[in-house]
Amino acid sequence: MTLIERTIEVRRPLAECFAFAADFAHIASWDPGVARSDRLDDGGPGVGSRYRVHVRFAGRSVPMSYVIEEWQPPRRVVLRGTSESVRALDEIRFEPSATGTRIDYRANIELTGAVGLLSPLLASTLQRVGDDALAGLSAALDGTGCSGRRPALVHRVFDRLLLPGLFGFTRLGYLRAARNFAPLDDDLTGRVVIVTGATSGLGRAAAERLAALGARVVLVGRDSTKCAAVERELRAQVDGARLDMEVADLASMREVRALAGRLLEKFPAIHVLVNNAGVLLDDREVTSEGLERTLATNLLGHYLLTNELLPRLSESAPARIVNVTSGGMYTQGVKVADLQMEREPYDGVVAYARSKRGQVLLTEHWATALVGRGVMVNAMHPGWAETPGVERSLPRFRRAMARLLRTPEQGADTIVWLAAARQAERETGKLWLDRAPHPAHVLPWTRQSEAERRAFVAALDQLLQAR
């Protein structure tokens, strides 16, 4: 459930404001998220009046039914809205003010079905939709024009984020894209490839494929028993597999430093680093080093590991780094002033999305820093794949999407392609899904200036000091 609460002051008298805003027959003229609205009954509006409101959604016009539940002119109206994927309860209060009318708008919005699974990620988007709507109402009542004809932000977001999310990220999206894939048969003999999070899901699938292409694959996991079991299974599955195993908790900077030391000692050349390990947690956890665990695992550990291995990767050029991010990052920027999420209520999905946004920022940072050094750095989004991680962290999502989830191999395909394919050898600094580059941002507020990116990297360095 998302609660949108906004107050505006307009210069119009109370009765006129009520007559205009409480009757949703006018809503398309002020809310840019509405394409059209029709009253379904005759007579003046009142309790029981019904509207068919066509909301702009994913490039289409989706009908919503609204009914007036309470009608107290000129002070208050309550409307209930329903559609296949949205339930809304809108309350509008009108009070006279010194200069005209004060309007308090309160909307409770619940996304249901498959779209509902994305609610936590879309909460901030809905807030901005509320901003657009109230700005439109204010402009319409004050006669300064209205934003109703501008494509709504929600429209743009659903077009570019939700639709690809609901289709392109699924198994069907993969199958559609894979029709154009060239066979991945590059020979990786002699190449050393490090894969973090290789004991499960995408990391395991990528490790298997990379080993099958002839690479010497270093499986990094946090659990030695699990690592040993995966190593055994991969040896059984891949003829002549060349595998090594390293155990380290990536959320522990002490262990990451030790891991890097062992890798540098053991491997005179390192050609590929796949930063894949990741977690999505329900509750805020803090490591013994005082780090919020999602940040530590998904971002800081990989930042440290990559920095420690960079000189060796560079010496071993041509070399590649693949950062496994998530589509969740489309909804978030990084919060440099509060990387550990100490100053706001913890939300695991938001913490995850911010850590994944951080990986994209680091991809851009390293790609710029490494120009001319033969190390290509890219981020990829695997789509939605059925893995133990998804089963553990998003059980409702997994159940609802069961038939649409990718296999781990399909999710891992672009990891392997970026790590191995000749076609990808010159690519750097980009975000990929299904072997195609994608924009790293769809929302303006997730963008960072160059100065903000530098501040973000400096904040990571600061967190690493004394750890």
Ligand X SMILES: NC(=O)c1ccc[n+]([C@@H]2O[C@H](COP(=O)([O-])OP(=O)(O)OC[C@H]3O[C@@H](n4cnc5c(N)ncnc54)[C@H](OP(=O)(O)O)[C@@H]3O)[C@@H](O)[C@H]2O)c1
Q: Quick count: other Cβ atoms within 10 Å of Cβ 466?
A: 8
Residue 341 falls in which region: left (phi positive, over 0), alpha (psi -120 to 50) or beta: left
250 lies in the binding site for ligand X (CB under 6 A) = yes
- Kindly state the number of chain residues that form the binding site for ligand X, as judged by CB under 6 A: 28
**CA angle, residues 395, 112, 123, in degrees to nearest 5:** 85
Report the residue from 324, 361, 377, 459 that binds ligand X according to the rule CB under 6 A.
324
Contact segment (CB under 6 A) with ligand X among 36-44, 71-79, 89-97, 193-201 equals 193-201
H or E element: which one contains 412? helix 408-420
105 part of the active site = no
358 lies in the binding site for ligand X (CB under 6 A) = no
Task: Rank residues 32 and 197 by Cβ distance to ligand X and give the closer one.
Answer: 197
Nearest distance from residue 208's CB to ligand X, in Å?
13
Handedness of CA 201, 202, 203, 209 (dihedral sign): positive
385 lies in the binding site for ligand X (CB under 6 A) = yes
Task: Rank residues 94 and 169 by Cβ distance to ligand X and give the closer one.
Answer: 169
Between CA 130 and CA 182 the distance in angstroms is: 45
Handedness of CA 219, 437, 375, 327 (dihedral sign): negative
**Residue 2 DSSP code:** E
Q: How far from chain centre, in Å, is Cα 98?
A: 44
Between CA 302 and CA 323 the distance in angstroms is: 9
384 lies in the binding site for ligand X (CB under 6 A) = yes
389 lies in the binding site for ligand X (CB under 6 A) = yes
Residue tagged active-site, from 51, 66, 303, 352: 352
Nearest distance from residue 89's CB to ligand X, in Å?
33
434 lies in the binding site for ligand X (CB under 6 A) = no
Nearest distance from residue 29's CB to ligand X, in Å?
40
440 lies in the binding site for ligand X (CB under 6 A) = no
Report the residue from 101, 199, 340, 446 that binds ligand X according to the rule CB under 6 A.
199
Whether 303 and 253 have beta carbons less than 8 Å apart is answered as no
Nearest distance from residue 314's CB to ligand X, in Å?
24
Between CA 424 and CA 412 the distance in angstroms is: 15
Report the residue from 64, 118, 126, 251 that binds ligand X according to the rule CB under 6 A.
251
SS3 59: coil
Task: Rank residues 214 and 328 by Cβ distance to ligand X and give the closer one.
Answer: 328
> Quick one: 149 exposed, middle or buried, by C-beta within 10 A (0-12, 13-18, 19+)?
exposed
197 lies in the binding site for ligand X (CB under 6 A) = yes
Contact segment (CB under 6 A) with ligand X among 149-157, 197-205, 263-271, 337-345 equals 197-205
Report the residue from 68, 177, 279, 460 that binds ligand X according to the rule CB under 6 A.
279
Whether 90 and 65 have beta carbons less than 8 Å apart is answered as no
Q: Quick count: other Cβ atoms within 10 Å of Cβ 300?
A: 27
Residue 58 falls in which region: left (phi positive, over 0), alpha (psi -120 to 50) or beta: left
Write the binding mask 202 to 241 for ligand X: x where contact by CB under 6 A, - elsewhere. Answer: xx-----------------xxx--x---------------
2 lies in the binding site for ligand X (CB under 6 A) = no
Neighbouring residues of 379: CB distance < 8 A, sequence distance ≥ 6: 322, 323, 324, 325, 359, 360, 363, 430, 431, 432, 440
390 lies in the binding site for ligand X (CB under 6 A) = yes
Interface positions with ligand X (CB under 6 A):
197, 199-203, 221-223, 226, 249-251, 276-279, 297, 324, 326, 382, 384-385, 387-390, 411
Q: Which residues are catalytic?
A: 352
